[in-house]
Structure 1
Amino acid sequence: MLGLLPSVALAICDVEYVAQPGDNLFSIAETHYGDRERWTMIYYRNQDVLAGSSVVPGRKLQIPCVKQASEPDATPLRRRGAEMTLLTGGGYAPFTDRGLPGQGMVTELVNAALELAPSPVSYAINWEDDWSKHLFPMLDQKEFDMGFPWLKPDCAAEPDNERCANFHFSDPVMALPIMLFVRQDNQFAFAEDSDIEGKTLCRPKGYFTHDLNRAGRGWLDDGKITLVQPQSPADCFRMVSERQVDAVAVNLFLGASSIVREGLRDTVLPLEKPLSEEGLHVVISKRHWRGTSHLYRINAGLKKLRHSGRFEDIMSRHLELFWAQLQ
């Protein structure tokens, strides 16, 4: 599991595929790449025609070829003493880290968006590895203009959430599929929300829970599930491997890395249907005097990034690196 297979070299790719009843991204990846783990290539290439993260029969999907890792895009507007300053941190692979190619997939996407934005300005990216300092006090006190990447709470349901009350969020830089990771010998059907009722899920302490309690779901408020919150992802994966919980509910990248790190390749796998989809955003203080113009710039750049095809190119490069490193 979670590795490169020789059959990838013989992939049926750079073709158009019409989704059939019963298809999912895992099965389509198995057919075209010979490797179900390559479903993320199809997911990020076709987000405009997917229903969230589900395949709709009859819709045409582009099947991209797996690209070899290449050098990250140049960043000519990035320099010291710049007009705009951004804040991020390390230790958040594959999204941001100074040791990653392009300093991570989100860093490279933000770079590209700012360069494609209307009336581009010079910018600098600053690093603080203590993430607890980013929102408060650094961004709240406007030590830096914007920060990334941040998950957005359900601000409609929780307007008093400190992130919602104090920060504006950009459009999503990228989407994160939130997966259910289960024992291979204890898979359960997840086609509808009702299939989760009565289950015991594990998600580490301090992680968001709004997707479990959103409108129409209410799993926590209505006591429809049991949520266990140990200290770390490793604790959750140990618990699912020892049958103490039914599933671990975390994002695809964290889950895949944890499976490899904990030696659970032959024990734990993700279910095919994601539990939810969360965005990673750029944030700016609501009290920032240039908040509107900076948000417009990043959002316009993100839109152009997708229309230009560079989004898929950057994601393909980083996804290939991610899966290769796990092997």
Structure 2
Amino acid sequence: MMSKWFVTGIFALAATPLAAQTSCDVTHTLQGGDSLLSVAEQYYGDRSRWSVIYYANEVALAGNLVNVPVGVELTIPCLETANRKADPKPLLQDDAGIKLLTGSNYAPFTDQDWSGQGLATELVNAALEESPSPVPFSLTWENDWSQHLFPKLDNKEFDMGFPWIKPDCNADPENERCVNFHFSEPIFNILVRLYVQDGDSLAFEKDDELHGKTLCRPKGYFTHDLDREDRQWLTKGLVKLTQAESPEACFNLLTEGKVDGVTLNEFLGYQKIKDMGLADKVKTLDRPISTETLHVIISKRHWRGTTHLYRFNAGLEKLKSTKRYEEIVSRHLGLFWGE
């Protein structure tokens, strides 16, 4: 599955217009020397759109993103240029037994203005539909994410929240998320990327290449990947972290030469570079900082927490065994990269 993909760098950021898409809805037979990056570049004119092809062919690729098997036939889907009709949500009701909490401004995962209100929203809905004896649920949008974990979920005002990144609870069992919340099985995996000024010679092939560097990540964002057991960049003072007010502020510091790199998830980084017109000033390094997983989260103090967790995980497992999971993911990725 997706966890295999961070073994090697797989992105070269390019703000390529949709017009560069040469052909789609065709079949490509993998040849020697092919990679998902090269196939994406061939058909979409942009290596960064490889994930659209991956999710459309996940079964055929058997989860392999690096050494793709020669001879496998890949379906090359068309990128979305308009909001195709989202999946219906028959279980979604205003007054329901299970109360879900999410927030907007997190496209393509959760956003009230995005198709289907986001990739994660559609996956959670579909998993609940596939759960044993499905029951109705309500969905509340709270755009102040700082209110979600504490107090709203911790006080059991809501039964489940999404999507949340799970820290490494084995390495850091005292992390407040690990102490206070149950995590579902992963809904989706994302890469955390490192962005530097175009022309910078930094390659980041090994961790120690960042020693002595200053990185920027916005205030309030997780930092566990920077200080994991095999790095301890922050604890040992090997890397300096600047926590600016926003992603935009981080990129401004980068272009002003006040930090050496910006680290954000691949979707947010791509979108901000595009919005700020920085495609010719900022580049993405091939090797990611980390791979993170998105989850549904439930308070450990919830008296039915483990029941809710079991039901959701069972539904998610069933969903992933069907074509519907692939179809939802492929549609949203196609829409995101096709903008």
Output the TM-score relative to the length of structure 2: 0.85
Residue in structure 1 matched with residue 10 of structure 2 by the alignment = none
Tell me the equivalent position of 1:6: 19
Give the structure 1 partner of residue 327 of structure 2: 313
Displacement, 1:168? 0.3
Q: Which residue of 2 aligns with 1:94?
A: 108
- CA shift digits 1:237-274 (9 cap, x unpaired): 11222222222110011111111222212211212222
Stretch deviating more after TM superposition (98-107 or 300-309)? 300-309
Contact 2:100 2:161 (8 Å CA) reproduced: yes
Q: Which moved further from structure 2: 267-276 or 184-193? A: 184-193
> Contact 1:17–1:62 (CA<8 Å) still a contact in 2?
yes
Q: What is residue 170 of structure 1 aligned with on the other side? A: 184
* 1:237-256 superposed matches below 5 A: 237-256=251-270
Query: What do you get for the CA RMSD once the two structures are aligned?
Result: 2.5
Does the 8 Å CA contact 2:79/2:338 hold for their aligned counterparts?
no
Q: Which residue of 2 aligns with 1:234?
A: 248
Q: Distance in 2 between matches of 1:115 and 1:241?
A: 46
Q: 1:106 corresponds to which residue?
A: 120
What SS class does the counterpart of residue 212 from structure 1 fall into?
Answer: coil
Q: Could you say what secondary structure the match of 1:265 adopts?
A: coil
Residue of structure 2 in register with 1:65 after alignment = 77
Q: 1 CA distance for matches of 2:216 and 2:75?
A: 33
Offset of residue 169 of structure 1: 0.6
Alpha-carbon distance, 1:66 to partner: 2.8
Which residue of structure 1 lines up, in the alignment, with residue 293 of structure 2?
279
Q: Deviations over 1:18-62 (max 9, x none)?
A: 674xx7654442134322231232454549624xxx624658695
Partners of 1:298 and 1:153 lie apart in 2 by 20
Q: Distance in 2 between matches of 1:29 and 1:95?
A: 22
Counterpart mapping for 1:17-28 below 5 A: 17=30, 20=33, 25-28=36-39
| Greater CA drift, 8-17 or 66-75 | 8-17
Q: Distance in 1 between matches of 2:287 and 2:50?
A: 12
2:207 aligned with 1:193: yes
Q: Is the 8 A contact 2:218 2:244 kept in 1?
A: yes
Partner of 1:140: 154
Distance 1:44 1:245 in 2: 35
Secondary structure in structure 2 of the residue aligned to 1:41: helix
Mapped contact 1:140–1:285 kept (Cα < 8 A): yes
Alpha-carbon separation, structure 2, partners of 1:75 and 1:19: 43
Which amino acid is the alignment partner of residue 199 of structure 1? Answer: K
Counterpart check, 1:49 vs 2:63:
yes
Q: 1:285-304 deviations in whole A, cap 9, x for unaligned?
A: 11212212211121122222
Distance 2:250 2:227 in 1: 20
Aligned to 2:304: 290
85-94 or 11-20: which moved more? 11-20
Cα drift, residue 144 of structure 1:
1.3
Identity, in percent, stands at 51
Match of 2:145 in 1: 131
Counterpart in 2 of 1:31? 42
Q: Which deviations, in whole Å up to 9, do the C-alpha atoms of 1:149-194 show, x marking residues without a partner?
A: 1111222222222211111011111111101112222152233323
Given the alignment, which residue of 247, 259, 271 partners 2:273?
Answer: 259
Alignment deviations for residues 126-145 of structure 1 (CA, whole Å, 9 cap, x no partner): 12222222111211111111
**Unaligned segments of structure 2, at least 5 residues:** 1-13
Higher deviation after alignment, 60-69 or 258-267 = 60-69
Write the distance in 2 (CA, Å) between the matches of 1:4 and 1:219.
38
Does the Cα contact within 8 Å between 1:89 and 1:131 map onto a contact in 2? yes
Change in Cα spacing, 1:13 to 1:197, as seen in structure 2 (3 Å) is farther
TM-score normalized by the length of structure 1:
0.88
Aligned length: 320
